[in-house]
Amino acid sequence: MFFKWVLTNQANPHRCQLVKITQTAENSFQEFPETETLSGFDLSDRKFVAVALTHPDKPPVPNAVDSDWKNFEVALNNIGIKIEFLCPELATRP
């Protein structure tokens, strides 16, 4: 249902706001900060941080069960990105 909602609403400016991000040759994004504290951040997740940083409102990034985001929570908060843990009981590794 969510995927159908996205396909239906992605061009609707009242529902979705698009921002441009630029992928680099290293499979990262120009908008992703190159800081030591984020150097180990998952390459496949950098697009979400890049989008949040590019958006003028700096919206929170929702995360359901990807536990490695918890390891970077402080570093992300330091650059102005808040993570919204939807399943906080699953956000930490055992």
Summarize pLDDT for 16-70 with one digit per residue, the tens.
Answer: 999 999 999 888 999 999 999 999 999 999 999 999 999 999 999 999 878 889 9
pTM of the predicted structure, to 2 decimals: 0.85
SS3 63: strand
49 phi and psi angles, rounded to 5 deg = -70, -45
CA distances from 59 to 26, 55, 89 (A): 25, 7, 22
Question: How many structural domains compose the chain?
Answer: 1
| Residue range(s) defining the domain that contains residue 74 | 2-90
d(CA 10, CA 4): 10
